[in-house]
Structures are given as structure tokens and as C-alpha cells.
Amino acid sequence: MLNTLKKVFGFQSFRPNQEAIIKNILDKKDVFAVMPTGGGKSLCYQLPARMMTGITVVISPLISLMKDQVDAAIENGMSAAFLNSSLSAQEMSSVYKKLKGNDLELLYISPERFAMPDFLEMLKSIPISLFAIDEAHCVSEWGHDFRPDYLSLCNITRIFPHIPVSAFTATATPKVQKDIINKIRLRSPHIIRASFNRQNLFYQVKSKIGLESQIMEFLKEHADEPGIIYRTTRDSVFRLTEYLVDQGVSALPYHAGLTPEQRNRNQEAFSRDRVTIIVATIAFGMGIDKSNVRFVIHADLPKNIEGYYQETGRAGRDGERANCLLFFGRQDIPKIRYFIDQMPNEKERSISMEKLNKSVTYASHNVCRRRQLLEYFGENYTEENCGACDICLGNVEKVDITVDAQIVMSAMSRTGQYFGTRHIIDVVAGADTKRIRELQHNEIKTYGAGKHKEKNHWQFIVDELLAQEAILQDGGQYPVLILTKKGIEILYGREKIEGLKREEIKKKPKAFKVSGFEPYDEALFDKLRVLRKKIAEDHKVPPYIIFSDMTLHEMCVYFPSVLEEMRAISGVGDTKLERYGADFTNEIKAHLDKNPGILIPDRKPVALSANTPPQKMKGGTIEKTYDLFKEGLSIKEIAKRRNLATSTITGHLETLIRDGRDIEIDRLFDPERRNAIEEMFLALKTWNTGSVVEHSNGTVSYDDAKLVRAFVQQKG
């Protein structure tokens, strides 16, 4: 397991819970895992896919995410593909051919495809090692994103009784967890419930006052950082995007009103760092695996905590610091209630209202944001101060707000309790509006009683009165403020009321670390980002698939200028080392040459053992390469016949050589050339192929070095 983790994925150790999940999968046991976004779920089934015989079938509703996940697996040297409606007939045929030829380790499909009878029959005919169900909360009507198509997945354990099933989700309350296990019919599953605490995320809620200017103020403080801004409607997405572009911000919209081509184009522009900001409805993000999102802004109140948690979880997937900012205005509540009221099913309406109330509580109560989120998911958070939310970093003090509360409630009473928040605040603040004059509210005693204070202060008073149920909002889409029994007691001086006043954040969040390293070389980081983007464009993949920001930050701390040192960097597996190692070490070397005063911390390089275990034979795919080689075909001819990359065929031959198969090495190399490469390995005293390639000034390819290395090691 550890050897595969390092060689394929480039990591020295597992994240919490990964090892236990993988061990149970390899033991062919069912698994149910609740792991937060960015917790490393995909590795839990991708690593077993490399180690087990047969194909791992991943079921996911995220069609637009499948390509990125497949591209990432391929970049790590795995054989992977997806089947969905975005493929042409020819591309679909190619995937089916690979499936029937047992040439895949990973196959991504949607739940709708799994339900197709013909496809199900095809699955029965191929060797399957594992079913992995992603976004498993979609199977539960108690979850925030129930999808009826997921119910067909309850047939997996019946149709494939001997195949292990693993279900993964980032958001499930204990109630939803129980429902998922029952619906999918998992068999005595190993259950992992990881902590929901994303320590690198900073949570903050601000009152919504002048939203567009508030957002611009935030963006100026976070210039050039990629981020997502969520809005509830298409119109609000369009308006905000237009405003940001007018202000010189690199932004694009994403909503259901755009054509599929426009949505895909805009999403790709964001994924590939061609645009900085995406303004979107909640439809966006389920199809993106971009690891370097530095902030998520909710410009409107989320309708439930599960959705909010999942959406904020799209920030900082690389483990780097990230901001989660929610703008809260009570005017958002009736808009959501209006849609809830349209639901025909009474049970569904009740569940949705309960979830909305939890969102309002989260946004309006001055209690640690992190504690509220974790407790919602059944996790006990014992820290007194999380150090990474606005409540814990702000100076919170109790203040007597009785007099100001009486001013607001008096304005409500004198206007007949027929008006909403904005109008009441206008009356108190003494605003000279046409509506106030028409209604003659400028003549009531309370008019202008609060003009000596800013409107945002009166919004704070209204929010506190609502939070403490001294007043209520009543009505549908345009609710009015009404007094409660408690409010009447306060209005007539028979009770006092206190509010929790928060000052601006002054302390530095303790959760804000950069990859655990401070400082890193920012000038080098910018150079490596440019190099990464160029390589990504050449390979037609998003930059984060080449290397994450965290991997680049580590390079900018340890400055690996030779390939042995690069191997020690987290996220640099064998395939990526061979493909990109030389480019990045050359860039780092050039930076060190220009800056001779840089001090480099010590770190022991990871050497490749000569006793590296041979790759496990995968479902006959290596055997097919062996048969074609014995027929006399060259590497290029085998690759063309099998529709695989030459590097994949080279990997097959390397495994066959290590396994002691009869591979005529002289068919692959001129004896003189082979001897010269052997001598390089011996002279350099290393089995690192990159060192040989570097020493030869590029005259020896990585593929050649791998084959000769395997031959020498097997012979010796």
C-alpha cells in the first residue's frame, strides 16, 4: 500500500482514515465513509484500483467532473475512462473496447447509466474489483440533494453479491448516514465518520448592506486569487458578473440559463486559471475538482447547512488557507420560503423549513461558526476558541440595546405592523423617500429618531430582535415585521434586552498556515505557476492536475534542483517525476543560480529501492501486451494496436521483465546502447531513471532507462 501510495500518487503517508478504508476494501469488505471535501476520498478507491485485479467502477452524478478525475488518474499513470453523454459514438466505442479487453483500472459512470439494462449486462461480463459510490447522500430523501436515479444502486449488492461496495459522501448527518446504508444495502460495512472540521477554512458572516461594493472590497483584498461567488438566481448571477467585469475583475457566469456549451466553456476557463472568478448558482461546483480555490462567497442565504458546508468545501481542497464569507440579509428568508411553499409534498416542505431555520440560526447567532457546523453533523467541538472564524477572532461584548429596540418597535407599532425591515429602518433613520411621504410616515413621532446612527446599526438591532424572537417576520415573499409578546414587554419598558456586539477582526487566524511552511519563496512560486500553466495547456488539463499549489509551495521551501530531491516532494509520483521532473528542477536550478544567497533546509531524498515489488498483473492487460510482443510487434505497433500510449506499453514490458518473462532485450535496444545506459546507472550509483536522463543530456529517454533498469535488476 505504501509503495503504491508513493510511486503512483507521490505521497509519503496516508491522510486520516484513508489507510483503514483501503485495507477494508482490499479485504473485500463494504465501506461507508463520511469524509469532508478535500479529505482524499478519491485516493481511497483509486489506490485499490491499482492493486486489485479487475475494474473499479465509480458511480458519480457529476458528469462534468468525470473528465477531470480521469485526467488526474491518467496523469498519475493509471488507465482510466468515463462513459457519459458528452462522448461521441466513436469515443464511446473506444471505451467499450477497452472495457471488454480488460484494459482499464477505473471506469466512471453516472447512476442513470448503471440503471440501463444493456449496460448492466455488459458489466456482468467483465471482471469488477470494486463499486465505489460517490456523493452517496443523493440516495437519501433526508439528504440535501436527493436524486431518484440513485435508488437503482440498491441493486448492486443483489446483482453483484461477491463484489465489495464503498459509499462516500462529504455531507451526511447521522440520520442520513443510516438511511444511505439501508438504501444501498451495504453488508455490515466498515464505517468511517471523519471529522467535519476543515481547519484551513476561515468562516465569516457579514450583514448584507450594499452587497456589490462589499464584494468588491473583499476582492481587492484578495486580488488574483481564484474564487467562487454563489447567488440564488440567474438574474442575480448575470447582474453581479456584469458589475464585476465593469470594475475590471476577471469573472464569468454559470447558471442553467446558459447553453451547455457556454457552461462547459466557462467552467473550463475557471478550472484552467484563464479566469479568476466564477459567479454561479448552486448548480456550479458539483462538477469541479479545482484544488486551489482560495475563497467561496455566498452572496445570499443558503437554504440548508448541508449545501452550505459542501459549497464552502470547494475552497482550499489543497489544504491551503481559504476564506468562506456569507453575506446575510433577512430579506433572503422569504424568497427561500416562497419556493418551499410551492412544494406539493408536506413532508418535504417540513424538512426544508427545518433546514432553512438551521441556516438562519447559523448566520444570525453569535456563536463560533465552526462549532455550529460541526454540531449540526453530530460532532462535538470542545475548543473554546477555534481561532478561524469571525466570532472567535472578534471582540464580542454584551451591550444593552433596550432603548434602540424600543425605537424600532415603536416605528413598527405606529405604522400598523404592515411593513418590512427596509421601510422600518428608513423611518427610524429619517430617510426622505417618496413612499414615506406618500404614507405620511414622516409625520409619526418615531420618524428620524435614529438618524444619529448608521443604517447598518439599525439592521443589527432588527437582526437581534428577530434572533431573540422579540419580533417576527410574517408573510410570504414580502414579509412584514410584527411584535411578539416578548417584544411588547420590551416596548413598554417591562423588560430589558441585550445584544452581542462584534468588533472588526484584528487577530490573525491561527488556522491560516501555508502548507505548514512559512515562509516560502513567492518569486519562485510565481515562476512555477507559469511553468505549470504552460505544461497544463500543452496537455489540455487544468493546472492543478499537474501539481497542486501545496506541492508547488513545498518545492518553494526545499528547492529540489535534482530529480532525487524532487521525488521527496509530496504529490510527485513516478509518472509525474518522469514527465515533469526535469522541467521543474531546471526552473528551480535557474532560480537558485540567480539567487545564490538562498538557504535550503535539509531534507533526506527518497531513494528508489532496487527491490521495488513488481506491478500486480491487471486483468490480463499486461498479458495482452506480452502476447503481441511475442508475435514480433514493436512497442509503437503494440501501442497502436491496443490504442494505448507507448509509455503504458513500456510500463507493461518493464513489469514483464521484472516478473522474469522471456523478453528479448536486444529487440528493444542495440547492445551497445543498452550497455552504455547500464554503465550510467552504475557510474551514478542510483536506480533513479531521471538521473540517467539528466546525465545523458536527454539522449536517453525515460522509457529506455526504465526498461534497462528492469533488465539489470532482474539479471542481478
Structural domain ending residue among the three candidates 360, 394, 428:
394
- Of 378, 394, 410, which closes a domain? 394
The pLDDT-based confidence of 698 (bands split at 50, 70, 90) is confident
Both 225 and 342 in one domain: the answer is yes
- Looking up residue 218, the CATH number of its domain turns out to be 3.40.50.300
Please report whether residue 507 resides in a domain.
no
Same domain (yes/no): 266, 351: yes
Residues 27 and 166 in one domain: yes
**Whether residue 364 is found in the same domain as residue 323:** yes
Q: Looking at the domain assignment, is residue 611 inside a domain?
A: no
Judge whether 516 lies within some domain.
no
Q: Give the pLDDT band of residue 505 (cuts 50, 70, 90).
A: low
- The pLDDT of 39-45, averaged and rounded, is 88
Find which of 59-68, 227-236, 334-343 is predicted with most confidence, using mean pLDDT. Answer: 227-236
Instruction: Note whether 98 and 219 are same-domain residues.
Output: no
DSSP string of 330-376, one letter each residue: TTHHHHHHHHHHT-S-HHHHHHHHHHHHHHHHHHHS-S-HHHHHHHH
In a domain, 561, yes or no: yes
Residues 6+ apart with CB under 8 A from 540: none
Same domain, 231 and 352: yes
Predicted pLDDT of residue 688: 67
Say if CB 139 and CB 183 are below 8 A apart. yes
pLDDT band for 504, please (50, 70, 90 cuts): low
Same domain, 328 and 216: yes
Q: Looking at the domain assignment, is residue 510 inside a domain?
A: no
- In terms of DSSP H, where are the helices of 482-632? 485-491, 522-539, 543-546, 549-558, 563-566, 574-594, 621-630
pLDDT tens across 212-268, in order?
999 999 999 998 899 999 999 899 999 999 999 999 999 999 988 888 888 888 988
Which CATH number belongs to the domain containing residue 674 in this structure? 1.10.10.1390
Write the pLDDT tens digit of every residue in 615-629: 433 445 677 888 888
| Interval 463-498: pLDDT, tens | 888 878 899 887 655 678 999 999 999 999 999 998
pLDDT at residue 405 in the model: 95
The mean per-residue pLDDT over the stretch 338-346 comes to 84
Q: Are 466 and 362 within one domain?
A: no
Please check whether residue 98 lies inside any domain of the structure.
yes
Distances (CA, A) of 585 to 372, 538, 562, 603, 645: 45, 19, 6, 16, 25
Tell me whether residue 509 is in a domain: no
Locate 412 and state its grid cell: 413598527
pLDDT for 194 equals: 83
Cis amide bond preceding 519, omega within 30: yes
User: Of the candidates 193, 215, 246, which is a domain's last residue?
Assistant: 193
pLDDT tens digits along 382-391: 888 888 998 8
Average pLDDT, the chain: 85
Query: What's the pLDDT tens digit per position in 526-578?
Result: 899 999 999 988 888 888 889 988 899 899 989 998 888 898 898 998 889 88
**Can you give the pLDDT at residue 518?**
55
Residues 6 or more apart whose CB falls under 8 angstroms from that of 430 comprise 442, 447, 448, 449, 450, 451
**Amino acid type, 667:** R
389 secondary structure, DSSP code = B
Query: Same structural domain for residues 14 and 111?
Result: yes
Q: Among the listed ranges 41-55, 121-135, 425-439, 471-485, which one has the minimum average pLDDT value?
A: 471-485
Residue 645 — pLDDT band, cuts 50, 70, 90?
A: low
State residue 618's pLDDT score.
40
Instruction: Give how many domains the chain has, as a whole number.
Output: 5
Q: Residue 491 has what pLDDT?
A: 95
The H-assigned helical ranges of 595-643 are: 621-630, 635-642
User: Which range, of 318-332, 349-363, 699-713, averages the lowest pLDDT?
Assistant: 699-713
Residue 614 phi, psi (nearest 5): -65, 150
| Rounded Cα distance, 249 and 229, in Å | 13
The pLDDT of residue 514 is 42
In a domain, 601, yes or no: no
Residue 413 sits in a domain of what CATH number? 1.10.10.10
* Alpha-carbon dihedral 690, 695, 700, 704, rounded to 10 degrees: -40
Judgement on whether residues 590 and 657 belong to the same structural domain of the protein: no
Residues 634-663, mean pLDDT to the nearest whole number: 79
Contact 679, 685 (CB under 8 A): no
Identity of the highest mean pLDDT range in 300-309, 515-524, 685-694? 300-309
Cell numbers describing residue 365: 447567532
- The domain containing residue 154 runs over which residues? 2-193
Q: What is the pLDDT of residue 595?
A: 86
Maximum average pLDDT range among 127-136, 458-467, 672-681, 703-712: 127-136
243's enclosing H/E stretch is helix 234-246
Indicate whether 248 and 346 sit together in one domain: yes
- 183-213: buried (b, 16+ CB within 10 Å) or exposed (e) per residue? bbebeebbebbbbbbbbbbbbbbbbbeebee
- Report the candidate in 172, 121, 165, 166 with the shortest Cα–Cα distance to residue 145: 172
- Cα(228)–Cα(251) distance, rounded to whole angstroms? 10
- Which range, of 68-72, 90-94, 148-152, 443-447, averages the lowest pLDDT? 148-152
Give the distance from CA 265 to its chain's centroid.
19
Are 206 and 306 in the same domain? yes
* CA pair distance 414, 444, nearest whole angstrom: 7
pLDDT at 105 over 90: yes
Residue 218: all three cell numbers together: 473583499
CA atoms of 602 and 448, how far apart (whole Å): 68
d(CA 37, CA 195): 11
Question: Considering the chain, what percentage of its residues have pLDDT values greater than 70?
Answer: 90
Sorting pLDDT into bands at 50, 70 and 90, what band is 287? low
Measured distance CA(155)–CA(134) in Å, rounded: 16
